[in-house]
Amino acid sequence: MPKPDLSRLDSLPSDGSGFDAENFDSDELIDPVADELENTVLRLSDYLAAIELVVKETFQHSVWVKAEIRNLSSKNGHYYFELAEKDDDGKVIASCRGNLWRFKAARVLGKFERVTGMQLERDVTVLLNVTATFHPLYGFSLAINDIDPSYTLGDLARQYAAMLERLSAEGLLNLNKQVPDPFDIEHVLVIAPEKAAGLGDFRADADRLQHTGACHFHYHYATFQGNHAPKEIRHAITKGILTFKKEYDRLPDVMVIIRGGGAVGDLAYLNDYELAALVAEQPIPVWVGIGHERDNVILDEVAHTSFDTPSKVIAGITNHLASLMQRTQDFADTIWHASQQQVTQAAMATERQFTAIQNTSSYNLQRWQHLSDSHFNTIKQHAKFELRQASMTSNTNMKQIQQLSYNHLSRASSAIDTRYQTIKESSYQRLSDAAKQVRYYQQVVLIQNPARLLDQGYAFVQNSEDKYLNSVSSIEKGDFVKVSMSDGEVKAVVYDVNKHSTADTDSIEADQS
């Protein structure tokens, strides 16, 4: 198989001078040999080797490239990147692989972590010093020579500023700050990473408050580091609010989000717009204590109150409760002094009113006594007159009642005699009818007496279990039966069983009827 003429590739400048990538036209390179290669079949290795040579000779210089790390893995000390560029809509418009070899990785990554305070991870925009490489077996990739940590810090700062601007434009930046301060803090919803040192500092004082019954804390845990941190924190906040509302049928008094200090990169995961918006939209005050005094995250900007550390958050709760107790005690003292003053004034007023009432009462009692005597004499005379009238009326009514009673008794006696005679005659008639009925039933009983039926030639048939039989359907050939007659019993074996047809049975019943 003939090889292509690659002599033209050797003529390219080794330093890349005079090469314009934007205006580069591949036809300029291929056209002179197009006729020669048109009917030539190349081996894949030869063709890719030619491309490797072109890339090596043309792009041997290093350049600074801005890209986003879409994926990052390591093996045997080597680091493998998947780099990409996105447009304003977040759509990937370019991507390629990048390799940071072991002999450079320790120096490059060490400097990056030392300057930024964070580890290099996916979804971070970086400025890379790269050299283009092409390998016939592994394809195209970028060899990473260096990473500029200052650019990443600046990019994080730009993202932070853009997030603040968006939250402010949407009215979320100061939304939670407008929620009124709680009057009393009885229940606190705490969102924190489980088993973290900052949470331990917080709980040291929180448990003492809860033990006294002054405040109750409800803990929900989430990861505060890594790409999944914002989503887990949002889930913990939503779950905590719903769980508390279901149990207590109201919202907690305060929500607390706490985390100890850490590297700038670790805290950068908390700079998430969705998380900040969720915190800002909470209907209760959100107190945030993340990091140390030098640290600041987007949650500090949107929270109702921001503290430097978790310890200062619990100190704020303690101070609030202490202030509430002091104000309550001040109100109690004020009320007690006001009450004492009111009681003293009321006692003096009562004494004056009692003296006035006593004087007025003495005068009124004398007047009422005189009026009472006069009215009593009038009532006494009127009562005597009324008694005489009532006595006369009572005598007249008594006579009328006696006369009416005699008349009613006479009529009642006559009615009773008449009713007695009627009941007596009716009773005699009923007794006569009952006697006739009894005699009739006696005759029926005598007619149906079993002894009388046996004397007339009827018989009773029983099976071997002494049960009376009234149908041949319960008798089979060979059964033992007992026949009772008027003067004795006959035990027999059934020789044959003949059943009457339905028509015969109906005719027999008709004859009997």
Three state DSSP letters for 375-392? HHHHHHHHHHHHHHHHHH
* Residue 350, token pair as written in the block: 């009562």
Asked if residue 297 lies in contact with residue 273, where contact means CB atoms within 8 angstroms, the answer is no
Exposure string of 100-110, with b = 16+ CB inside 10 Å and e = fewer, is: beeebbeebbe
H or E stretch covering 438: helix 310-447
- In this predicted structure, what is the pLDDT of residue 266? 64
Burial class (CB in 10 A: 0-12, 13-18, 19+), 167: buried
Instruction: For residues 315 and 308, give the distance between their C-alpha atoms in angstroms, rounded to a whole number.
Output: 11
Instruction: For residues 172 and 179, give the distance between their C-alpha atoms in angstroms, rounded to a whole number.
Output: 12
CA trace torsion 105, 108, 113, 115 (10° rounding): 170
Radius of gyration of the chain measured on its C-alpha atoms: 58
Instruction: For residues 394 and 389, give the distance between their C-alpha atoms in angstroms, rounded to a whole number.
Output: 9
- In this predicted structure, what is the pLDDT of residue 3? 36
Tokens 């500029």 sit at which residue?
148
φ/ψ of 499, rounded to 5, equals -100, 135
Instruction: For residues 17 and 28, give the distance between their C-alpha atoms in angstroms, rounded to a whole number.
Output: 17
Asked if residue 287 lies in contact with residue 307, where contact means CB atoms within 8 angstroms, the answer is yes
Kindly give the confidence (pLDDT) of every residue in the chain, 513 residues in length, as a single tens digit, with 9 standing for 90 and above: 333 343 343 343 444 444 454 554 545 545 555 566 666 788 888 888 888 888 888 888 888 898 989 899 999 999 999 999 988 787 889 999 999 999 999 898 988 888 777 778 887 888 899 999 999 998 999 999 999 887 777 777 787 888 888 999 999 989 999 999 888 899 999 999 988 888 888 998 999 999 988 899 999 999 888 778 899 999 999 999 999 999 999 999 999 999 876 655 567 778 889 999 999 999 999 999 987 555 578 888 899 999 988 989 999 999 998 888 887 777 787 888 888 888 888 888 888 888 888 888 888 888 888 888 888 888 988 888 888 888 888 888 888 888 888 888 888 888 898 888 889 888 888 898 898 888 888 877 777 777 777 777 788 888 888 888 888 888 888 888 888 887 888 888 888 888 877 655 555 555 554
Tokens 């015969």 sit at which residue?
504
Say what the pTM is.
0.48
Instruction: For residues 123 and 230, give the distance between their C-alpha atoms in angstroms, rounded to a whole number.
Output: 14
